[in-house]
Amino acid sequence: MADQKKRLDSNVVGDFYVDGTCINCDTCRQLAPTSFEEVGDFSAVTRQPADERQMHQAYQALLACPVGSIGTEHSDTSRMKEAMASYPLHLEGGVSYCGFNSEKSFGANSFFIEHPDGNWLVDSPRYLTHLVEAFERKGGIAYIFLTHKDDVADAERYAARFGAKRIIHRADFDAAPDAEWVIEEADSIQVMPQFQVIPVPGHTAGSMALLYKEQFLFTGDHLWWDSRQQMLRAPSQLVWRKRVLLDSIQKLLDYRFEWVLAGHGDRTRLPVDEMRVQLRALVERRQPSKVPS
């Protein structure tokens, strides 16, 4: 729970605020961009919600915050319940954002895929009764795809609850040493119809992307959308090997996809050709002559 005594001075006056426990993970800025912005080393409320849509988004951000840094001076129980009921938040084609980001993965996003041959969880949210019941209503979880070792969070608990198989790359196996399915390949592999695993080492040695229906690309910390600059970005810090990372980004030019669904950083949907242009531009920006070795 947020503490008004720790309310950051960077917040504007009004009901919603961020306190000093914020870890600046970007979750609130993704969900309620009209109300939350990065100010210094933290997120802050720079504009109070002005209508029902913005109010709903602010309550969604409050619930998704991994460390409970967002608070209200006067909580609205009805709006809180509506925001709670919105999770998992459907995006398109049976793909949803789970919400309830976990502090264990520094607030990384996780996603849920409804599929007739078994549902997938991509990385892990907090283990909460609300999500467990929501997943149960949708048929449970058959597979948990772990993009890399940093975003495992409560995957073990979800796997135990639903009897799901956790999928991780051998190079990041130490993060889930009892995982049921270990990817050994360095090249992409079609693990079942509509699902293709693409190893993308760079951020970590075992980073992987998941391509679903040649439409949705789940990227972990390998690639994300910068909503301010309106461009794709990739990590420049906390990188295992920069040259390998660039090769992994370039590898994605061989695939068709419309959505980039990232663990950290924003998500976006673009036409296939425009996505390819954005990806080529990222590769060009990250060439060795433009990136310190």
Q: What average pLDDT does the structure give for the chain?
A: 96
For position 288, what pLDDT does the model report? 79
The structural domains of the chain, ordered by start, are 4-84 (3.30.70.20), 87-290 (3.60.15.10)
148 in Cβ contact with 204 (< 8 Å) = yes
Closest CA to 139 of 123, 119, 155, 158: 119
Residues 100-118, mean pLDDT to the nearest whole number: 98
> Which of the four pLDDT bands, split at 50, 70 and 90, describes residue 293?
very low
How confident is the model over 177-206, as a mean pLDDT? 97
Residue 289 has pLDDT above 90, yes or no: no
Which residue in the block uniquely carries the two structure tokens 């925001």? 83
pLDDT of residue 1: 82
124 close to 164: Cβ distance less than 8 angstroms: no
CA dihedral of residues 33, 35, 38, 40 (deg, nearest 10): 170
In angstroms, how far is CA 248 from the centroid of its own chain? 19
Q: Over 90: is that where the pLDDT of 290 sits?
A: no
- pLDDT for residue 58: 98
For the segment 9-32, what is each residue's pLDDT rounded down to a tens digit?
A: 999 999 999 999 999 999 999 999
The stretch 248-274 carries a mean pLDDT of: 97
What is the average per-residue pLDDT within 251-271?
A: 97
Decide if pLDDT at 292 tops 90: no
pTM to 2 decimal places: 0.95
pLDDT band at 254 (very low <50, low <70, confident <90, very high): very high
Asked if 35 contacts 48 with a C-beta cutoff of 8 angstroms, the reply is yes
pLDDT surpassing 90 at residue 214: yes
Mean pLDDT of 193-206: 98
- Please give the average per-residue pLDDT across 180-189, as a whole number: 96
Per-residue pLDDT tens over the stretch 226-243: 999 999 999 998 899 999
Whether pLDDT at 291 is above 70? no
Dist CA 34 CA 39 (whole Å):
14
The answer, yes or no, to whether the previous bond of 88 is cis (omega within 30 of 0) is yes
Query: If you compute the radius of gyration of the chain from its CA atoms, what whole number of angstroms results?
Result: 19
Using a pLDDT cut of 90, give the percent of the chain over it. Answer: 96
Nearest to 60 by CA among 106, 103, 109: 109
As a whole number, mean pLDDT of residues 40-49 equals 97
pLDDT score of 123 more than 60: yes
